[in-house]
Structure 1
């Protein structure tokens, strides 16, 4: 692979995606619209293999879900999807949006029937466990806006001259004489879509135990994703892997919440010691 190539160049799994192409919307149920991207495509590039060093899920929130009831009356709801990180594929987000829009003129007998259709279709695409929770309008008032837990690093007064991805910021970034358990966060995470290079804006929480990490170097590392092209899920797994490799965390969680696009937000969670969090959105989402 030359210096200008990436692990994704000429990847057959990416060549057929509708992402970045003109697409006609379908308003009748079309589960075939869902498109899968093999997780191993990225995991090979960062030397991840079974058994995975983490568990977790891609937590999706769909804000634009509508269908027709048995009498033809339009219905609306939100939905939460949790795709197990152990699934064979991640689901490409534009195809997910097109799939959800295919319900717009589709009659579905009940919420439970809708939920079952969503679960079966997405699980089939991901080839793994998926849970779905349809959130009805009467539940909207209970939806919370929160802040990520931990100490925010964004007020550090640093000068930034280089925005190219650089894991070297994590080299020699720990103090082995100080063993800590702390939670840090940043709202400065930005990466770019792997296919279209459109900006993906996010916030990230890092909870770890182990040698104390230099916060300035960690923030510079996160900022270095600013021109980096990868899907949300791949960025989070890269952060997890780099922190494990270079910072020797004995316990680690990386949780990113990205702003929505096309009525969908994606929130990958990877941890080697914590359970999945509640799906509470941030103000920017």
Structure 2
């Protein structure tokens, strides 16, 4: 079984500039999900929304082409792709010739789909959309909608995930709210490098104590875990402690190596949030 320690994270790496799908390094979701009480079928819907800002290849005449790639990885997949391996994989397109952008898109879709099911039957494919330069001006920058809980003057002293900080008014009339924070920070599971993010929590149910929620988000500050794992931990903790009837958690992390990863988990079917970057991304 692939483990994070076997990946290229934190290691000197040769940059291959000829297309090589084998560079993608898949990591199983199951071990970290087991830690937070998920066994078997996942109790949520969602996806990991990737943006690749550094994608280039050669056309048949050897002229470089560039694009931004939006990649959607379904949360029910058995594996994630380790981010440094994704960067190395995308770099392998740099000096490879392709007939068209559609051919590049199809290679990425096929390769990522195979990786996230780790050689097993592909039950749902990754979504891939390439944005070519003539559409770059259409890419907006927009902050998450909702009420910012960062306005609260709370004391913070816990910097490892502390679900006991979460509470809700279980005996009062339910509400529907969208709450946001820009104070999410965690660290890479392998290298310990900081990962900076913003989070949006949309729910219907007993009103969540906003001060406790902010302290809980801050409590991830020294926690070592991948983006996808942090969001699933947040989702499961809120579900367990606050008992919302509906819940959606979205986090947008700042890019590293030309890639950003934006996990989204929801208790109910809905359209995925738009993959629109915020100012820090």
Tell me the TM-score normalized by structure 1: 0.94
**Residue equivalent to 1:85:** 75
Shift of 1:176: 2.6
**Residue equivalent to 1:262:** 257
Shift of 1:12: 5.4
Give the number of the structure whose residues are more often strand, by fraction: 1
Cα separation, partners in 2 of 1:211 and 1:173, compared to 1, 3 Å: closer
**Residue equivalent to 1:143:** 139
**Residue equivalent to 2:66:** 76
The one of 225, 229, 234 equivalent to 1:234 is 229
Summarize deviations over 1:226-280 as a string: whole Å, max 9, x none.
Answer: 0000000000000000011110011000000000000000000100123211111
**Residue equivalent to 1:218:** 213
**Residue equivalent to 1:133:** 129
* Residue pair 1:148, 1:282 contacting (<8 A) in 2 also: yes
Shift of 1:168: 1.1
Distance 2:145 2:16 in 1: 40
Aligned length: 274
Shift of 1:50: 3.2
SS of 2:206's equivalent in the other structure is strand
Q: Note the residue ranges of structure 1 that are not aligned, 5 or more in a row.
A: 1-10
Shift of 1:165: 2.2
Distance 2:246 2:195 in 1: 27
Distance 1:75 1:12 in 2: 33
Matches within 5 A, 1:27-46: 27-46=17-36
SS of 1:154's equivalent in the other structure is helix
Shift of 1:13: 2.0
* Residue pair 2:51, 2:259 contacting (<8 A) in 1 also: yes
SS of 1:168's equivalent in the other structure is helix
* Residue pair 2:168, 2:206 contacting (<8 A) in 1 also: no
SS of 1:87's equivalent in the other structure is coil
**Aligned alpha-carbon RMSD (Å):** 1.2
Tell me the TM-score normalized by structure 2: 0.95
* Residue pair 2:77, 2:116 contacting (<8 A) in 1 also: yes
SS of 2:179's equivalent in the other structure is strand
